[in-house]
């Protein structure tokens, strides 16, 4: 079953009603340890490469979110979630394909290691859309909070595997900007 057309909107900041409307999807789609604290989003919005987008259905309800950090050599997909009611209907595929087409250079994302059914399905979803795992790097995501613990994630890229230089550039950027507190 194909889903209805979605309208993309860029969120201006934490006071934007679309940001507030997207928080339910955000909170239910990611484990707490993988979530940026809401009070830390204003710092992210200050970065010119930070882009928080939502997708609205025909009734104007937020049904998906996409958070990216755009850099010269790569685009980092920090958060991507589709409302559970639309999963399996092609909405996620269309959003991901649009992102890939808009950025022909490297798109980098992280997923949980494929150790259970859900994480293996997520791996398969991204692989079906041209992303490849990069197991050559033992990637540890730093905690978003001082109280948190680092956690392992699997890096995936669209097209080719990451080379050492791009990997190091990504890790440096990620640690200095994405999880900066």
| Architecture field, domain 7-178 | 3-Layer(aba) Sandwich (3.40)
Q: SS in 3 state form for 112-155?
A: CCCCCHHHHHHHHHHHHCCEEECCCCCCEECCCCCCCCCEECEE
Residue-wise pLDDT for 71-118, tens only, equals: 998 999 999 999 988 777 888 889 999 998 898 778 999 999 999 999
Residue 1: the pLDDT is 46
Residue-wise pLDDT for 40-81, tens only, equals: 999 999 999 999 999 999 999 999 999 999 999 899 999 999
Q: To the nearest whole number, what is the mean pLDDT of the chain?
A: 92
Residue-wise pLDDT for 155-181, tens only, equals: 999 978 999 999 999 999 999 999 975
């Amino acid at each position: 079953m194909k889903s209805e057309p979605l309208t993309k909107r860029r969120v201006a900041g934490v006071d934007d009603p679309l940001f507030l409307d997207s928080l339910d999807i955000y909170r239910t789609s990611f484990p707490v340890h993988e979530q940026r604290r809401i009070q830390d989003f204003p710092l992210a919005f200050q970065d010119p490469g930070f882009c928080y987008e939502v997708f609205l259905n025909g009734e104007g309800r937020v049904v998906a979110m996409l958070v990216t950090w755009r850099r010269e050599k790569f685009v980092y997909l920090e958060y991507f979630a589709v409302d559970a009611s639309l999963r399996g209907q092609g909405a996620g595929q269309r959003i991901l394909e649009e992102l890939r087409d808009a950025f022909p250079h490297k798109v980098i994302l992280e997923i949980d290691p494929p150790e259970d059914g859900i994480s293996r399905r997520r791996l398969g979803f991204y692989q079906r859309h041209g992303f490849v795992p990069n197991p050559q790097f033992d990637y540890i995501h730093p905690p978003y909070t001082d109280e948190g613990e680092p956690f392992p994630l699997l890096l995936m890229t669209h097209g080719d595997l990451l080379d050492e230089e791009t990997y190091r550039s990504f890790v440096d950027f990620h640690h200095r900007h994405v999880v900066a507190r």
